[in-house]
Amino acid sequence: MNPMLTKVLTNTSWLASEKVVAMASSLLVALVLARSLNPAGYGSLSYLLAIIALVGPLTSLGLNAIITRELVNTPQRQHAIMATASGFRLAGAAFGTLICLLLALTGWGLAGPADQWALAMLALANLFSAFQVIEFWFQAHVAAKAVAHMRLTIIVIFSLAKIAAALSGASLLLLCSLFALEMAFIGAGFLLIYRRAAGAIQWRALDVSYGWQLLKQGFWLVLSGVAAVIYLKVDQVMLAQMVSREAVGVYAVAARLSEVWYFFATAIAISLFPALLKLRQNNAQRYQQRLQQICDVLFIVALLLAIGISVIATPMVSILFGKEYQAAAAILTIHIWASVFIYMRALVSKWLIAENLLAFSLLSHGIGAIVNIAANWYLIPLYGGVGAAWATVLSYLLASYLAFWLAASTRPIALVMTKSLLLPVTLGYRYWR
């Protein structure tokens, strides 16, 4: 077996193993929390976490995959790259934290003092997420083992702590403090494993001018990241404002059961990105073949997942979460179909970076955000959580597929996705012929 392929498969297996355990832990925690807090309490928790997610792009600054590219292309500059990326991301995280602290201070959109204190704790812990940029150093070296060990240890410990707290009747404030501590420990864990692998971050190597260059390259990704998070999380915020916290709790259960599977696409795209970059430089024809093959695999996995979850949604929700959340089954059978486009989008996002088409990332995500907000505004008053699920699927269809037909430069990847979408037809034709 090719040594690079062996390394990629090993890396993917570590990422997948970590995500499988994280997925199982996340589902178990969500199950216990949902049953312990009831729909209103779980809705309040989900609402606060959605607010933190909305400022997440200010922390990443669009630098994630760009850092991988920089480390692969110019490994001799790794100290400057890591110090600069960490410093700029820390500044972005501070800005996002400030926004959340202002919301907590004013109490806008919050139910009371408990919500305010909980949001403030989560906002301060968000500062540590700046150091998750270190993960992309390990990605560039196709060395996910250290990251998986560290993150799994912390996730399992805090999952057990959350379950114990929920079963003992802990308050929303205490539960939020555990979520905040988990974020902080993961950030500190990245600093520790990087120190062991490459030494401490050399802050003296921070290059402001180079940082501005990276920020300019990532500017479109920052805005597209904001747009992407909007149509991923704004539905819960709008449900809270337009319906109730109970509706958020029911919808959050369905969204959790749908979104928890997205890690497969992310793990595959992350592991193959460095190899695709090298292949693009050395063999354009094989690069194109690999794009199609990866997109086909992602589509097939997503299609099987969507069909399977749609079939078992009703008994699954009933068994896992109880009758209080039975309405989540109808939401889940719709929401899960967004994964078809989300899976292919994981590859497309990397392709946009490789082809230096970052501005189109903003355009496509911007379309998705606008459509999602407009569709939620119209559908939520009529259909509640079911309407929000339809808005999610519609926004992903437009942002992650149809939008790529708008420009000549992105039509090649739209054609790749179309071929994948037509696989059931083409395979059926070959079989019956």
Amino acid letter at 254? A
More confident site: 340 or 232: 340
Q: What is the pLDDT averaged over residues 329-350?
A: 91
- Both structure tokens of 322: 């109880």
- Model confidence pTM above 0.85: no
CA distance 211 to 82: 10
Among 220-229, 344-353, 421-430, the range with the most confident prediction by mean pLDDT is 344-353
Distance CA 344, CA 257 (A): 19
Residue 190 parent element (H or E): helix 172-198
Please give the pLDDT value at position 233.
Answer: 78
In the chain, what percentage of residues exceed pLDDT 70? 90
| Residue 14: CB atoms within 10 Å | 22
Residue 144 half-sphere exposure toward CB, CA atoms < 13 A? 22
pLDDT score for 177: 94
With 0-12 CB in 10 A as exposed, 13-18 as middle and 19+ as buried, what is 40? middle
pLDDT band for position 380 (50/70/90)? very high
Residue 10 has pLDDT above 70, yes or no: no
Report the Cα 28 to chain-centroid distance in Å.
19
Residue 50's pLDDT band (cuts 50, 70, 90): confident
User: In whole angstroms, what is the distance from residue 393 CA to residue 411 CA?
Assistant: 21
pLDDT at 231 over 80: no
Diameter of the chain measured on Cα atoms? 67
The pLDDT tens digits of the residues spanning 96-148 come to 899 999 988 888 778 788 889 999 999 999 899 888 888 877 877 766 778 88
H helices then E strands: how many in the chain? 18, 0
Cα–chain-centroid distance for residue 102?
A: 25
| Alpha-carbon separation of residue 265 from 83, 244, 346 (angstroms) | 29, 32, 6
Give residue 1's pLDDT.
47
pLDDT band, residue 154 (cuts 50/70/90)? very high
Taken in order 380, 383, 385, 390, the sign of the CA dihedral is negative
Q: What is the mean pLDDT of residues 17-25?
A: 78
What's the rounded Cα separation, in Å, for the pair 270 and 173? Answer: 35
The answer to whether residue 265 scores a pLDDT higher than 70 is: yes
Instruction: Give yes or no for residue 47 having a pLDDT over 50.
Output: yes
Instruction: Give the tens place of pLDDT for each residue, 67-98.
Output: 777 777 777 788 888 888 888 888 888 988 99
Supply the pLDDT for residue 185. 95
Smallest CA-to-CA distance from 176 within 238, 237, 120 is with 120
Domain boundaries, the chain: 3-432
- Hey, how many other C-beta atoms are within 10 angstroms of the C-beta on 91? 15
Residues 206-231 have a mean pLDDT of 75
CA distance 54 to 180: 16
Q: pLDDT category, 11, cuts 50, 70, 90? A: low
Other beta carbons within 10 angstroms of residue 284's beta carbon come to 10
Phi-psi region of 110 (alpha: psi -120 to 50; beta: other; left: phi over 0): beta
Tell me what the pLDDT averaged over the chain comes to. 84
Distance CA 163, CA 105 (A): 29
3-state secondary structure of 200: coil
**How much is the pLDDT for 81?**
83
